[in-house]
Structure 1
Amino acid sequence: MVVRDHEQLSVVRQCALLGLARSSVYYHPQGPSAEELSLLRLLDEQYLETPFYGSRRMTVVLRQQGYPVNRKRVQRLMRQLGIEAIYPKPRLSQRHPDHQVFPYLLRGVSIKQANQVWCTDITYLPVLKGHFYWVAVMDWYSRKVLAWAISNTMEVTFCIEALQRALARYGSPQIVNSDQGAQFTATAFTDCLKAADIAISMDGRGRYLDNIFIERLWRSIKYELIYLTAFDNGLHLSREVNRWFDWYNRVCQPVCVKRGIVTWGTCLQTQ
C-alpha cells in the first residue's frame, strides 16, 4: 500500500518498489454513468419482451432509440445482466470445468402438491445510481415465493442465504430446479441441497421454458413495480420488493385447480 505522506519514501519510490504505475495511486473508481444505467434498464426491458434477441438485434434496438452503441458494448452489458438470446446452441453439454451440471428432472413429471418441487433464479433490479441482483425461491405447484435475498454482487452467498431461509421455514422439497448459472452449480450451493437430501435439477442451456414460472414472476415484478418506481438505493428497493412479495403471496399466489383456488395452506393440508 502506498502512503502518500510517508516521511522517508516518496510516492515515486514507493511505486517503484511495489512495481506499481504511479497513476494507479491517484485513480478513483467511478460508478456506472447515467447513460450506462439507462442502457442496462432498456436491455432488461427489451429482454422481457423479446428474450430471443441477441446482441446484434439489441444493438439495433438501442440505436433506434438514439444510443450510438456498438455490438461489443451491448455484449458486455448483456453479460453484466446475465442474459443471452434463447435459441438452440451447439455443444450444449459443455460444462464448467470446476462445476458439476445436473440433468433436468422435471420432464414428464406430474407435480401434484406443494413442497414437491421448488425453483430458483436470479434477476437484475435497477436503482437510480446502480443495480442489484435478486434471488427468489418459489414453490412450483402453489407459486408461493418462499424466500428471497438481495445482493450487489453475483456471489453465491446470497443464493445460499435464500435457500437456507426457505428450508428452515418450509422443510425440504423433493426437487429444486434452477438454471446452469455459476451460482447454482457452485459446490457450496449444491452441497446445501445434497445435505438436505434434495434432488438437483437444472434447465438445459438456453431453455427458457424449463423454469417458466419463476421467469413469469420476474416479468410480473418488473412491470408491476420495478419499472414504475425510481428507487433511491438498495434499502428503498429492498423495502418495496419485500412489500410486493408479501402482496403477491397474499393476493396473486393462489393456484387454480379443478375445484377452485388452492393456497399454500390448503396445498399442505392435502398432503
Structure 2
Amino acid sequence: MKQERRSFDAAFKLQVVKMVQDQGLTVTQVCQELKLGETAVRRWLKQVEAEQNGQPGIGKPLTPDQQRIRQLELENRQLRADNELLKKGFGLLCPGTAMKHQVIQQLTSEKAITIQQGCKLLGVSRSGLYAARRRVRQPQALCGTRVRLRSVFEATGQCYGSRRLRKELAAEGIEIGRHRVRSLMKELQLKPIWKPKFVHTTDSDHNLPVYENVLDRQFEQAEANRAWVSDITYIRTLSGWLYLAVVLDLYSRKIVGWAMAPNMPAELVCTALQIAVAQRRPPPGLIVHSDRGSQYASHEYRDLLTRHGLQGSMSRKGNCWDNAVMERFFLNLKMERVWRRQYANHTEATRDITDYIVNFYNSRRRHSALGYLPPNGYEMKMAEQQLICVSEKS
C-alpha cells in the first residue's frame, strides 16, 4: 500500500527545529518521537540555520509574516540568554539586599523597568523594598525631631524621661512614640539626672499635742482646697542652711504657699500656710496634713488652723509614707534644681527656688497623676469642663 504523503506548515517545521536547537534533542530522537523522516528534519534544520545567519533559506521561501515571527523568536531567545547570563553574573558579585534595592531604585527612576519587574528579576520582595524606602526617609524626618527633643530636654532642666518628653513634643504637634523617644534619647546621650538623697529633718521628739491621721493617705482629691499637705526641707548654701516650708494642694499637686528662712521656727510654717490661705481662700473643713514636727505641733500653728476653720492632720510616728506626695515634691525639687546648683547665699537660693516653683513646677512640669498636665494647666482644664457642664444643664 502506497504511504500517504504528509505536508507540514512552517510553524510545525519551526517547532521541530526548536526541539533540536533549544531542548538539546538529537535529530534521531525528534524523528522517533514525531515519526518523521530524518532527511526532512535535517533539511528544515539547515534552512533555519541559514536564515539565522542571514543567508537565503533552502526550499520554499517564508512569507513576510513568517519571517517576522522568526526574527522575533530569535531576538527573544537571545534576550533570554542575555538575562540568564546577567543573573548568574550578578549573583557572582554576591550583592546584599540593600544593593539590589539601589539597583531597582535607579532603574525604576529611569523608567527602564517597573518595580514588579525589578523585584522579580533580582529576587527581592516589594514589601521589603518599600520598607527600605521608608527607613531611608525616616532619618531625614527625625532630624528636626532630634533638635527639638534636645531643646525640650534642656528647657525642662534635663530631668524629663521619655514619657514626659513625649508629652512635651505632642503638645508642640510632634507625634512620636515613647519607645522612639527613648531610642533618640539614647542616641543623643540625654540622661535625666537622678540623685536620690534623703536627710531627716523632722523633730518629732517633743511632748506637744499632735493631730490624728485624718488624711489617711487619701492623696487623690476630686476638688480643689479639700486637702493640703505641708512639710519642711533644707537647702544648702555657702552661707549656711536655708529652710523651705511648702503647702501643696493634693487636687492638682500645685504649690499654693511657701516660705524660706535661715532657721526652722514655727513662724516659717505659719507664714507658708497664711500665704496659701490668702491665695486660695479655702472653705472651712479643709484638711491640712503634715508630719509630727515640733513646728506643726506648736501653739502658733494650731491656733492658725483654728482661726481659719481648718482641720489638722498628722502622719503616724516614723511613717514618712503618710506624707509621700510632699516628700516626692522635695525630691523633685532637689534633683531637678537644687543639687545642680551651688548657691552663694540665701538670696540667690530663694530667687532660684521661687523661679522653680512659679515658672516650672506649677506652670510647666508635667505630672503623671494629672494625665501629664502641669498643675496650672490641670486646674484650667477642670474649670473649663465644669463651665461646660453648667452651661449644658442650664
Task: Name the TM tier (shorter chain).
Answer: 0.5 to 0.7
Q: Deviations over 1:127-149 (max 9, x none)?
A: 12311110000001210001111
Distance 1:244 1:95, change over 3 A: closer
The Cα shift of 1:264 comes to: 2.5
Match of 1:265 in 2: 380
SS at match of 1:49: coil
Q: Deviations over 1:191-224 (max 9, x none)?
A: 1111111111000111111111110110011111
Distance 1:250 1:152, change over 3 A: same
Q: Deviations over 1:15-68 (max 9, x none)?
A: xxxxxxxxxxxxxxxxxxxxxxxxxxxxxxxxx8365xxxxxxxxxxxxxxxxx
2: CA distance, partners of 1:50 / 1:153: 21
Match of 2:246 in 1: 136
1: CA distance, partners of 2:216 / 2:336: 31
TM-score, L = length of structure 1: 0.62
2: CA distance, partners of 1:175 / 1:162: 15
SS at match of 2:236: strand
Matched, 1:82 2:208: no
Distance 1:153 1:95, change over 3 A: closer
2: CA distance, partners of 1:198 / 1:268: 24
The Cα shift of 1:172 comes to: 2.1
Match of 2:270 in 1: 160
Structure 2 stretches lacking a partner, 5+ long: 1-194, 388-394
Residue pairs, 1:67-78, within 5 angstroms: none
Percent identity, aligned pairs only? 26
CA RMSD of aligned residues (A): 2.7
The Cα shift of 1:255 comes to: 6.3
Matched, 1:232 2:344: yes
Structure 1 counterpart of 2:196, from 32, 36, 49: 49
The Cα shift of 1:157 comes to: 0.8
Normalized per residue, the structure richer in strand is: 1
SS at match of 1:238: helix
Question: Comparing 104-113 with 163-172, which one deviates more in the overlay?
Answer: 104-113
Distance 1:164 1:253, change over 3 A: farther
The Cα shift of 1:268 comes to: 5.3
Normalized per residue, the structure richer in helix is: 2
TM-score, L = length of structure 2: 0.43
Distance 1:259 1:251, change over 3 A: closer
Match of 1:59 in 2: none
**Between Structure 1 and Structure 2, whose CA radius of gyration is higher?**
2
Distance 1:266 1:114, change over 3 A: farther
1: CA distance, partners of 2:271 / 2:382: 25
Match of 1:251 in 2: 364
Q: Deviations over 1:59-116 (max 9, x none)?
A: xxxxxxxxxxxxxxxxxxx7xx6259xxxxxxxxx9833x210100122746212111
Question: Comparing 183-192 with 250-259, which one deviates more in the overlay?
Answer: 250-259
2:229–2:290: 8 Å Cα contact kept in structure 1? yes
Distance 1:194 1:236, change over 3 A: same
* Length, aligned pairs only: 186
Residue pairs, 1:103-252, within 5 angstroms: 103-107=212-216, 109=218, 111-172=221-282, 174-246=286-358, 247-252=360-365
Distance 1:108 1:232, change over 3 A: closer
SS at match of 1:263: helix
